Amino acid sequence: MPEQETRSVLEFKPSAIHGLGAFAAAPIRAGTLVIEYAGERVSKAESTRRCETGNTSIFELDEDWDVDGNAGWNPARFLNHSCAPNCDAELIEGHIWIVARRDIAPGEELTFNYGYDWEDYRQHVCHCGAAACVGYIVAEEFFESFRARKPIGLPTS
């Protein structure tokens, strides 16, 4: 695993998007593994149980395991969702890493797409402020349908 210099690179402070956010304290180059999305490794059954209690910090790891980012020391949970994110969440050797999509300048807030399914989209209104914001926190694969208002029941206003 690459050396983690997260603490000197990231600054956690109030964000215009939501709650606390993670901001670049120094330039971050595209492709940098910025921070691990750490947490408790839980079985699918346990993960389903926790999701039903409203835990929105669960990440799919593989077919058998998920990671609950709400449990334990995981400052990566402060990264906000954006419809035009500057980071991606990638699965690398069994760990979830937040990876810079592009060069990030000091002071920029770090964001990634939470990748939510669209089923419960109404509960997850997006305030990312991006010009291309689709209005809800959903995975990129659904953006086109959201913009075209295709899914049944989507608001038209």
Q: Note the residues at the interface with Zn ion (CB under 5 A).
A: 83, 126, 128, 133
Q: How far is the CB of 128 from Zn ion (least distance, A)?
A: 3
- For every residue of 37-92, which 3-state class applies, written as one string? CCCEEEEHHHHHHHHHCCCCCEEECCCCEEEECCCCCCHHHHCEECCCCCEEEEEE
Coil vs helix vs strand at 146:
helix
Nearer to Zn ion, 32 or 80 (CB): 80
- Measured between alpha carbons, how far is 92 from 148 in angstroms, rounded to an integer? 34
- Residues near 54 by Cβ (< 8 Å), separated by ≥ 6? none
DSSP state, residue 136:
B
- Number of Cβ within a 10 Å radius of residue 17: 17
In the complex, the smallest distance separating the C-beta of residue 152 from Zn ion, rounded to whole angstroms, is 22
Q: Considering the complex, what minimum distance in angstroms separates the CB of residue 127 from Zn ion?
A: 7
The rounded Cα 65 to chain-centroid distance in angstroms is 18
For Zn ion, the closer of residues 47 and 111 by Cβ is 111
Question: In the complex with Zn ion, which residue's Cβ is closer, 28 or 128?
Answer: 128
Question: At closest approach, how far in Å is the CB of 135 from Zn ion?
Answer: 7
In single-letter form, the type of residue at position 154 comes to L
Minimum CB separation of residue 138 from Zn ion in Å reads: 9
Q: Considering the complex, state which of residue 25 and residue 133 has its C-beta at the smaller distance from Zn ion.
A: 133
Pick the closer one to Zn ion by CB: 9 or 83. 83
